[in-house]
Copies of this chain bind each other. A is one copy, B any other.
């Protein structure tokens, strides 16, 4: 694994999905809150918010530490199922973030390679990808395809491999500290977006190379991260 090296040629991009391209973080928060209440597990909502985007398994590990509870495997499976159900009930309220569709179109026009890498499952990701009109040629890596989700680097490493680009030549774009921690472990530079509800300083502290408000803000500043018209 080399150090980040983004000189010269066009960079490639590895995008997180929830909170980065689609406005779905708060629906995930509400779905987890309902699932936890139904299982009789008390947890403040801000603590749920701070865990969105990390692997579901690590979420449950953190949950056990923060509540002091020990959850048996049946309860863990029930929580995961309830979250998926309650999120599905809210999926109709999820919209692309401002500029997300335009960002992907502009990268395509500039012949910039990109992939999408999400800690969510394929069944959760599919409706979001449809909203974004992601071309079928774009590699999509979901939780189902790797051993470990964020903040492990597996999802982003798999994305880079599918693009046939070294991770050191990629920007990882994400809204959560888990994306940025995973980016560092993958040897890629991380770009933070505020659209998942984290503050700018938190993303910087997690290693963000640059922070933008949302995809619309990034697409307006693409030259800052070395994207140039292809021709």
Contact = CB atoms under 8 A, between A and B. Distances in A.
A201 interface: yes
Given A93-B37, A199-B199, A201-B205, A25 B42 contact: no
Is the interface on chain A under 10, 10 to 19, 20 to 34, or 35 or more residues? 20 to 34
Contacts of A197: 45-46, 49, 197
A198 B202 CA distance: 10
Contacts of A98: 42, 44
A205 B199 CA distance: 11
Contacts of A49: 26, 197
A29 B33 CA distance: 14
A186 B103 CA distance: 44
A131 to B, nearest CB: 14
Contacts of A214: 44
Contact of A25 (B30, B45, B201): B45
A95 interface: yes
A182 interface: no
A30 B94 CA distance: 12
A194 interface: yes
B42 A95 contact: yes
Contacts of A195: 44, 46
Nearest to A194: B46
A165 B41 CA distance: 40
Interface in A34-70: 37, 42, 44-46, 49
12 contacts: A19-B46, A23-B46, A25-B46, A26-B29, A26-B30, A33-B93, A37-B93, A44-B195, A49-B197, A197-B197, A198-B199, A201-B205
For the complex of A and B, 6 pairs with smallest distance between CB atoms: A201-B201, A199-B199, A199-B202, A46-B197, A26-B45, A46-B195
